[in-house]
Chains A and B, each alone.
Chain A
Amino acid sequence: MADDSPASHRRDPIKSSVGNVAAQRRRQKAVTVGKERRESLFRAKRLCRVGATGDGDVSVEENDMITDEEGFLLDAQTSSAVGELKSAVASQGKGAMQKRVNALRELRRLLSKSEFPPVEAALKAGAIPLLVQCLSFGSPDEQLLEAAWCLTNIAAGKPEETKALLPALPLLIAHLGEKSSLPVAEQCAWALGNVAGEGEELRNVLLSQGALPPLARMMLPNKGSTVRTAAWALSNLIKGPDPKAATELIKVDGVLDAILRHLRKADEELATEVAWVVVYLSALSNFATGVLVKSDVLQLLVERLATSNSLQLLIPVLRSLGNLVAGDSHTTSTVLVPGHEITDGVIKVLVKCLKSDHRVLKKEASWVLSNIAAGSIEHKQLIYSSEAVPLLLRLLSTAPFDIRREVAYVLGNLCVAPTAGEGKPSLIEEHLVSLVQRGCLSGFIDLVRSADIEAARLGLQFTELVLRGMPNGDGPKLVEQEDGIDAMERYQFHENEDLRNMANGLVDKYFGEDYGVDE
């Protein structure tokens, strides 16, 4: 532009070198060849026609893509997008609606662009009141959708940024209703799910504003993506710690049926979200647990565990199962009765989980087993004679600490009979002898050495069983061989009185002055 004259017209001479065009043509031909091949492939595929299969459906998740745009620029663009929105909201008459939608879409695009959305910039520029206004009743769907989407992404920000949504909550909840179009309701549910996930305080606000019933009703139909989003939002909403919401949820008409139906039929992604709802229901509310165990839910959970390989799904399903087993004695006493088909099914899927490569599955499965092993003699015998024991023994010696602790509970529970009342538990000698012979003692002695009080207690309790219960008074010798004395002597001056007394008592009783004299 600083040239002396404007760019003069200059065209390619008619007499030009063949090399200029030839290479270009050759490259174009190469591209054309590729296109022709794609074309023939399409046509070939279209000719062999086979019926389509499959049912159910899955959600469309609008997601962002990665860009490495600088934050600075993004912030600047965001402020100016909010500015645009402000003027669009203020404008009236023909085209105003389209203008608003465009402005919202631009803002949404910016908020969806990066892993670190420019939420702060949007809030600073005053986005919330504008977005709330865009949610007013009677607004066109497109506008509602975009506004809710913006809010969803803002709610995904830091805690105080999530809190900024407070003025928007009543309208977001209002748009969950049956009068709203599904995409709008779903987007609002998403935003609310983000808010609920933030913490107890916001959860209570949402509950007091009546978010739960409409979200619960969104779970009822078979529309995949909607149910999934609603389930996810609900699982955030009932997280507690107050069990009231969970109890309220299970009482909503049709929710139990919907949970069962989705667990039975839905694809894995949807089943995953529904399973998380079951996790929180069963973890928090005794009432809900009671309702659930009387339904088919255990059977469905077992089936999912048996057939799925998706870790995302297996975790909540397994945890739900564990909650139901641990939370209500009804489960073990009347549903998982040894001899019933379902009981064998449960053991089988738990064995499958113990065999899995995933630490979480192994740990959760051991936890479930420990709860079952705390049941009747028949339960203990069932586990004892299952494929689980060799797996548990191996885990006790090789697995990471948290799994070992759960495994120790199972093995420990297998060796003691159910007791009524106080006093030392009575032994199941057959199980104890066999497990000790198969080398489990060293694992328990290891736990004695652990800094974790609960694990150490478990270790000491099992050591006590061995000292007391091994036939022919072999116990002390076995414990000594595994350096058990040394492990217990560490507790001589331990700050935890309970453990100190227990360890010192055992050492005094079995390794006192008389120990070794006989030999």
Chain B
Amino acid sequence: MEVTQVLLNAQSIDGAVRKNAEESLKQFQEQNLPGFLLVLSGELVNEEKPVETRKLAGLILKNALDAKDQQRKVELVQRWLLLDGNAKSQIKAGLLKTLTSPVSDARSTASQVIAKVAGIELPHKQWPELIGSLLSNVHQLPAHAKQATLETLGYLCEEVSPDVIDQDQVNKILTAVVQGMSSSEVNIDVRLAATRALYNALGFAQANFSNDMERDYLMRVVCEATQSPDVRIRQAAFECLVSISSTYYEKLAPYIQDIFNITAKAVREDEEPVALQAVEFWSSICDEEIDILEEYGGDFTGDSNIPCFYFIKQAILALVPMLLETLLKQEEDQDQDEGAWNIAMAGGTCLGLVARTVGDDIVPLVVPFIEENISKPDWRQREAATYAFGSILEGPSPEKLIPLVNVALTFMLTALTKDPNSHVKDTTAWTLGRIFEFLHGSAVDTPIITQANCQQIITVLLQSMKDTPNVAEKACGALYFLAQGYEEVGPSSPLTPFFQEIVQSLLTVTHREDARESRLRTAAYETLNEVVRCSTEETAPLVLQLVPVITMELHNTLEGQNLSSDEKEKQSELQGLLCGCLQVIIQKLGSSESTKYAFMQYADQIMGLFLKVFACRSATVHEEAMLAIGALAYATGPDFAKYMPEFYKYLEMGLQNFEEYQVCAVTVGVVGDICRALEEKIVPYCDGIMTQLLKNLSSNQLHRSVKPPMFSCFGDIALAVGEYFEKYLMWAMSALQSAAELSTHTAGDDELIEYINTLRNGILEAYSGIFQGFKNSPKTQLLIPYAPHILQFLDGIYMEKDMDDVVMKTAIGVLGDLADTLGSHAASLIQQSVSSKDFLNECLSSEDLMIKESAEWAKLAITRAISV
């Protein structure tokens, strides 16, 4: 095969030629993979070949090593590892040689492929000479080859994890990179490549950042690079600083003053991409300090991992004015552009983070800016002032903010109706929303909304819903938080008199021609949902009246036929909103006996519509419809059985939906709802459901977040069907056992520990459900063989000392369930376990009432089991 021609053909504009070429490439690959890859690397290295075929050859090579899809990726990695060693060395030699090519595209492609190969081989201790050979003569190389080598090192650091490269090699990489960045390097491209490589290599530099001299040197080089004449280098250097701010926060103290000066200058004077990174540095510092302060409740005791250095607090006098300046640099139409991101938005966002970090201290620094600008003729000043106000509403104490809000509220309401500028109105409505979000509700002592101003607020907000879509959307948002603040208001809500009017206005908004702009329709429906959710008994008849209205809307979406894909998407989106709305309504009406009874007249009709919504799609399941059905199942109880024959296939479809794991997770939740509704009537469907659950659990494609609810779902099913669960017991227990083994120990970051705890909770809920399901059945003995392992699991997680309160409560509950269900059969096992003593005592003295209650019950159950 003449590969060059085929590769050219593969990029032909003629579809047939292209297809043909792709086909023969595929065939070649299937017939002789090593040969194929070898030919591709030969093409890439060959200086006589056209640049486009070299690039494509490299790209195909890269795609043969990595894929987005996890399963596919594993396959590719295995395939490469098993490939003939000779072919591999030849390919690798070709790739390394390409790095010296005068053609920049060829070099860059080769860099990426080398990194992919390294990503596979280095963890397997293969290609140990790679880094050495890249670095061996980096000083003598011509500039273009040096640039390619540095780029390769950068990609390599992105691909492999720090633990597979030993410190000696890390040092060499960093040395080469830092030399490439230094001012002694005359070539701009080399310096850029080096700076970008450093960005990826920072994660490898733990040891170097712990050494004062090395750290000083690294920091100096980075700071120097922020002053480069080349904008790309300056941006890359600031990106390095951002990364350092989160990775090495605790090492920053000696440099923070210099960094402030550098960033301040960049924010004020540099081009926007650079300025944005300079702001980002401070946002990132805020993130760190907020995390630290949250974790230690503000009073740092000295014995924890990372102390708070209060960089923000110290810099605030200079930092806040700098950020306020950025607010005046708005773009004209940024409110209509959902993807907009500019220096003003970044500055306001950072200001909000600063407010959360320092609290009250920010107020006196911002108020003068607001007062000075809020009434200026230039809309930019009015908007910036409003934006500043809105940004600092989270963080400072209500005592500090409420006096300000009381003064500002009337002004804001006027601005929202009268200001000539839409941008100002948009920000004003958003600020009102923030006021209601953080300063209105049962948690706040002094109400800012009173009988005196309530009517005016609602009138203004409803009026603004007729404004341009972006303003109307923000007005909906404000109403959303207004309603939320009355969630726990008691039997009578101040919103009751306006309920009908609010609902009517929101429905009108959903019908606006331009409702799809600025996500207005979504905001309107979600606001309607919140108004319904937070409503009281007084307005229940009105909520009931909404049922036929929303049902009719949903019915209307089913009318269209032969829709284009765009129309289909719109239809599906609207159906989602309406199903979401019905979900909230069903939940609301189902929560009290009187309204539930009245609602039931609509149940058949609604379920029929949900099924039709499912039928609109061929292969996927509508997530919102699924959620709504969960609510319906709860409301209808055992009667839901009549819908099952028709609904079951969609349930199964949802469980099978790996790709959209949220859909899968939601469906698993709905299975739980249905179990609770149907109880033993779920039996005919259990085989299918359990098969699917076990299949899902054994798949390595499934998103990990779905696993815990799946385990809980075992518990739901066992609880519903009781001893009938016997037929699944062995498999379920085996799945639980292997998951339990994996989740006994946690090692990793907070996120992983949090996940492991949800996983533990799912496993424990399954055990509880199974024990309780078998209780009082003649088959409890079937569970005895599993008891040792379950107790071992409880002991294991207790010993790890890292479970959260939720797990603690569930775990002690399982201990009680085990004792209660197995009784004397488990007595000696229980007595041997640590859980029954130390863990139980710890729970008994817990301050958490739920844990205490569970523990007391477990103690009772154990006492009984042992005494018999």
Contacts and interface: CB of A to CB of B under 8 A. Distances in A.
Interface in B346-404: 346, 348-349, 352, 387, 390-391
B832 interface: no
Nearest to B627: A30
Interface stretch (A41-49, A129-137, A324-332, A424-432): A41-49
Contact of B781 (A1, A18, A31, A267): A267
B781 A34 contact: no
B235 A18 contact: no
A50 B821 CA distance: 9
A1 B865 CA distance: 61
A158 interface: no
A321 to B, nearest CB: 26
B273 A58 contact: no
Interface string B770-803: 0010011011111011100100000000000000
Given A26-B580, A73-B75, A225-B785, A5 B81 contact: no
Contacts of B345: 13, 15
A492 B719 CA distance: 70
Contact of B473 (A17, A30, A60, A267): A17
A45 B672 CA distance: 16
B757 interface: no
A31 B772 contact: no
B610 interface: no
A63 B719 contact: no
B785 A8 contact: no
Contacts of B346: 11, 13
A51 B199 contact: no
Interface in B256-282: 273, 276-277, 280
A355 to B, nearest CB: 25
A19 B523 contact: yes
A420 interface: no
Interface in A341-394: none
Interface in A21-58: 22-23, 26-27, 29-31, 33-34, 37-38, 41-42, 45-46, 49-58
Given A8-B239, A15-B430, A62-B734, A30 B630 contact: yes
Interface string B572-584: 0000000010011
Contact of B697 (A27, A65, A267): A65
B782 A18 contact: no
Given A6-B236, A66-B698, A14 B529 contact: no
B734 A63 contact: yes
A433 interface: no
B822 interface: yes
Instruction: Identify whether the interface residues of A are mostly helix, strand, loop, or mixed.
Output: loop
Nearest to A6: B199
B236 A13 contact: no
B480 A22 contact: yes
A53 B780 contact: yes
Contact of A14 (B348, B473, B776): B348
A54 B778 contact: yes
A118 interface: no
Contacts of A27: 627, 666
Contacts of B273: 8
A22 B781 contact: no
B284 interface: yes
B174 to A, nearest CB: 17
Interface residues of A, number: 61
B652 interface: no
Contacts of B769: 38, 42
Instruction: Identify whether the interface residues of B are mostly helix, strand, loop, or mixed.
Output: helix
Interface in B79-97: 79, 81-82
Interface in B669-701: 669, 672-673, 676, 694-695, 697-700
Interface in B694-726: 694-695, 697-700, 712, 715-716, 719
Interface in B144-184: 155, 158
B477 interface: yes
Contacts of B283: 11
B138 interface: no
Contact of B391 (A14, A38, A49): A14
A166 B778 CA distance: 43
B196 interface: yes
Nearest to A61: B730
B820 interface: yes
B78 A76 contact: yes
A340 interface: no
B485 interface: no
Contacts of A22: 480, 522-523, 526-527, 529-530
Interface string B468-492: 0000011011001100000000000
A6 B196 contact: yes
B42 interface: no
Given A5-B232, A6-B199, A13-B341, A18 B523 contact: yes
B349 A11 contact: yes
Given A13-B349, A80-B81, A18 B715 contact: no
Contact of B518 (A9, A17, A50, A113): A17
Contacts of B820: 46, 49, 52
A92 interface: no
Interface string A57-78: 1111111011101101100110
Contacts of A31: 666, 669
A479 B440 CA distance: 102
A469 B263 CA distance: 119
Contacts of B474: 18
A203 B789 CA distance: 34
Given A38-B765, A46-B857, A65-B695, A6 B239 contact: yes
A224 interface: yes
A225 B731 CA distance: 16
A225 B634 CA distance: 41
A418 to B, nearest CB: 46
A6 B530 CA distance: 41
Nearest to B340: A13
A179 interface: no
A517 interface: no
Contacts of A34: 630, 669, 672-673
B759 interface: no
A33, A34, A53, A225, most chain B CB atoms within 10 A = A34
Interface in B423-479: 427, 430, 433, 473-474, 476-477
B535 interface: no
A6 B518 CA distance: 30
B519 A73 contact: no
B861 interface: yes
Contacts of A6: 196, 199-200, 236, 239
A200 to B, nearest CB: 32
A2 interface: yes
Contacts of B34: none
B698 A38 contact: no
A10 interface: yes
Nearest to A63: B734
A38 B781 contact: no
A267 B78 CA distance: 47
Interface of A: 1-2, 5-6, 8-15, 17-20, 22-23, 26-27, 29-31, 33-34, 37-38, 41-42, 45-46, 49-63, 65-67, 69-70, 72-73, 76-77, 79-80, 113, 224-225, 267
Given A17-B522, A62-B734, 7 more contacts: A14-B349, A15-B349, A26-B584, A30-B669, A50-B775, A60-B786, A70-B75
* Closest A-B pairs by Cβ, 6 of them: A18-B477, A52-B823, A19-B522, A22-B526, A54-B781, A65-B698
26 contacts: A1-B112, A1-B115, A1-B155, A9-B239, A9-B242, A9-B277, A14-B349, A14-B352, A15-B390, A15-B427, A17-B519, A18-B477, A23-B580, A26-B580, A29-B533, A30-B587, A31-B669, A38-B712, A38-B769, A46-B820, A52-B865, A53-B778, A62-B734, A65-B694, A67-B695, A69-B700
